[in-house]
Amino acid sequence: MVIIQSYPVAVVLCIITMLCWGSWANTQKLASKKWAFQLFYWDYALGVLLLALLLAFTMGSTGDGGRSFINDLVQADGRSLGSAFLGGVVFNIANLLIVVAIDIAGMAVAFPVGIGLALVIGVLVNYIARPQGDPVILFIGVGLVVLAIIVNAFAYRRKSDGKSAGVTKGLLIAIMGGILMSFFYFLVANSMTGDFFHPEAGKMTPYTASVIFALGLLISNFLWNTFFMYRPVSGEKATYKDYFKKGDTKLHLIGILGGVVWSLGFTLNIIASGQAGPAISYGLGQGATMVAALWGVFIWKEFKGAPKNTNLMLAGMFLFFIAGLGLIIIARMA
């Protein structure tokens, strides 16, 4: 399988993850103009699995190091398979909550708050499980990211003047999703071998783990997404009949594209974790909060009409994000 052998290359893969994770929700924005996010999410889940399988049968089955996808899958033990699958289940409910929050409160707020919390707690959990990098530098960087999240929340509150019940509801849902999401990466990392060149028996390589994760996501969709379809937190009820009658080819492809983009970022990220370590790899990938905020501010104009000095707060938010992510990178080099 294809294995990354240098930390700088791992950082590049994490930056790609950041762009992917911070951008996929734009496909939801596009699709939500014509149908419910719950219907979009079925195609998204399918896209995640399709890309994981594609990478597993290509990058995961070529090269001299590690095990090929099929061989790796056959030898994986129940504990590893269960951990990666559960990672997909946990991610799915967390991601659905954040998608709901985006639908209610907007991308510039739901992503920084929800994914920002997932970054902070997730880095802590993954570092405790596998400590790699200077903890002081790493957690100062995480602290700056927390500060960026707080500044962003205050900026959005100024924009809404604190009067919108919908924004408050969206923020609460984003917080719930962020807390749950902080644990999915640990579950997947726990299913993987530490040495990709000489994989441990029973454990999985990143390519296999990403496929099992994607299966957990798609299968659990019949539980989590069905609930949100028939008991929506916001908007109208959606049905399976709507999925087949209301969706055209373009809408389905938009949803699949969203899943493909997210899945590409995820697989590259867990490949990078071999050199960067799970805590740093995950932390850098979740810099997606900044990318999503950029989309929300400059493309979707979610802060249009806000008080003028709100722009200063947003500039400060981006500076704190950049400084924090820079320190997270340096932490592995110290």
Q: Which tens digits make up the pLDDT trace of 187-218? A: 999 999 999 999 999 999 999 999 999 999 99
Q: What is the mean pLDDT of the chain?
A: 91
Q: What is the C-alpha to C-alpha distance for residues 163 and 36, in angstroms, rounded to an integer?
A: 26
Per the CB < 8 A criterion, the answer to whether 325 and 147 are in contact is no
Q: What is the C-alpha to C-alpha distance for residues 219 and 111, in angstroms, rounded to an integer?
A: 25
Give the chain's radius of gyration (CA, Å): 19
Describe the crossing of helices 249-276 and 37-57 by its angle, rounded to 10 degrees.
Answer: 50
Confidence at residue 204, expressed as pLDDT on a 0 to 100 scale? 98
Q: What is the C-alpha to C-alpha distance for residues 45 and 260, in angstroms, rounded to an integer?
A: 9
The closest alpha carbon to 219, from 94, 60, 46, belongs to 46
The closest alpha carbon to 5, from 282, 287, 276, 278, belongs to 276
Q: What are phi and psi of 204, to 5 degrees?
A: -115, 160
User: How far is CA 274 from each of CA 23, 138, 204, rounded to the nearest angstrom?
Assistant: 24, 17, 13
In sequence order, what are the beta bridge partners of 130?
A: none
> Using one digit for the tens of pLDDT, what is the confidence trace for 211-252?
999 999 999 999 999 999 999 877 789 999 999 999 999 999
| Predicted model pTM | 0.92
Q: What is the C-alpha to C-alpha distance for residues 92 and 317, in angstroms, rounded to an integer?
A: 28
The closest alpha carbon to 39, from 169, 318, 220, 229, belongs to 229
Place 152 in a pLDDT band, splitting at 50, 70 and 90.
Answer: confident
> Using one digit for the tens of pLDDT, what is the confidence trace for 49-73?
999 999 999 999 998 889 999 999 9
> Using one digit for the tens of pLDDT, what is the confidence trace for 94-126?
989 987 887 787 666 676 778 778 888 999 999
SS3 label, residue 192: strand
Place 290 in a pLDDT band, splitting at 50, 70 and 90.
Answer: confident
What is the arithmetic mean of pLDDT over 159-173?
70
> Using one digit for the tens of pLDDT, what is the confidence trace for 1-53?
999 999 999 999 999 999 999 899 899 889 988 888 899 999 999 999 999 99
